[in-house]
Amino acid sequence: MEKHTVLIGIIATLTCSLLLVSGCTQQNSTPSPESLQAILEKAAIIESMYSELEISTAINGSLEQSTTMKIWQKTPYLREEENSTTGGITTSRTFIKRPEGIYRYDATLKTYQSDPQIVISQPFTADMVNDLLKNQTITILGAETIDGNTTTVIQYTPIQAGNSTTITIWVWNEKGVPLKTRSITKNQGITKTIDSTYKNYSFSVISDSTFSVE
């Protein structure tokens, strides 16, 4: 009887110890950080989005151009309103991309004109994200907080026709979209730096009339 009582006591002690270890393990465990793919995929499924963009372009450290943009995206539509200042001269342009083509607003005629030669400077965010997901040269530099938002900092270096370009993107973990980018291109002793800051994101549904060219 005494041996039986001792055995029960040992089992009870071991059981309590296991429960304590299990409890401590659960209490001290922290969620695994999201993968870059999981973060980027959040942006790939956004159906409607508005953002504002501030861009500065510098050549060898000297500011050459400053640009502000308003961007509306609702696949398959894209609208961009751009104001660029170079040498004290400001130019304004508005583009709308629709399934049938790209349109430029003609301020003189006050109408939209089809212009297949236009290259949209800011592509669909979903397209940019899909390109990043396929990119095998991305390096994760770490995490950084911008205006209270946690970002994952990534970098890649495409090589094109003698130009060496390094692109750094601060990806907003919550939404998968960029909050900041920096592109540095070096060519024949000239360094071109483009800094972009994304602001005032909105993910509310955008009316189709925003993309009308009538």
| Residue burial 114-128, b: 16+ Cβ < 10 Å; e: rest | eeeeeeeebebbbeb
Q: Are residues 100 and 144 in the same domain?
A: yes
More confident residue, 32 or 125: 125
Q: Are residues 44 and 10 in the same domain?
A: no
Structural domain includes residue 108:
yes
Structural domain includes residue 214:
no
Q: What is the pLDDT of residues 141-183, one digit of tens each?
A: 999 999 999 999 999 887 665 668 899 999 999 999 999 999 9
Position 1 scores a pLDDT of 46
Q: Are residues 24 and 48 in the same domain?
A: no
Q: Are residues 5 and 48 in the same domain?
A: no
Q: Are residues 56 and 83 in the same domain?
A: yes
pTM of the model: 0.80
Give CA angle at 80 (87, 68), nearest 5°: 35
What share of the chain has pLDDT > 90, as a percent? Answer: 64
Position 164 scores a pLDDT of 86
Q: Residue 14 — very low, low, confident or very high, per pLDDT cuts 50/70/90?
A: very low
Structural domain includes residue 56:
yes
**Torsion sign across C-alpha atoms 149, 174, 70, 68:** positive
Structural domain includes residue 212:
no
Q: Which domain holds residue 21?
A: 1-30
Q: Are residues 12 and 116 in the same domain?
A: no
Phi, psi of 175 (to 5 degrees): -115, -15
Q: Are residues 125 and 198 in the same domain?
A: yes
CATH of the domain at 175: 2.50.20.20
Q: How many domains does the chain have?
A: 2
Name the one residue in this structure whose structure tokens are 């270890």.
21
Position 136 scores a pLDDT of 72
Structural domain includes residue 213:
no
Q: Please check whether residue 105 is in contact with residue 94, taking contact to mean a CB–CB distance below 8 angstroms.
A: yes
Q: Residue 8 — very low, low, confident or very high, per pLDDT cuts 50/70/90?
A: very low
Spatial separation of the C-alpha atoms in residues 95 and 70, rounded to whole Å: 11
Is the per-residue pLDDT at 65 higher than 70? yes
**Which whole-number Å values give the CA distances from 6 to 14, 111, 175, in the listed order?**
12, 93, 59
Structural domain includes residue 211:
no
Q: Are residues 25 and 108 in the same domain?
A: no
Q: Please check whether residue 201 is in contact with residue 187, taking contact to mean a CB–CB distance below 8 angstroms.
A: no
Phi, psi of 126 (to 5 degrees): -60, -40
Q: Are residues 91 and 130 in the same domain?
A: yes
Structural domain includes residue 172:
yes
Q: Are residues 68 and 15 in the same domain?
A: no
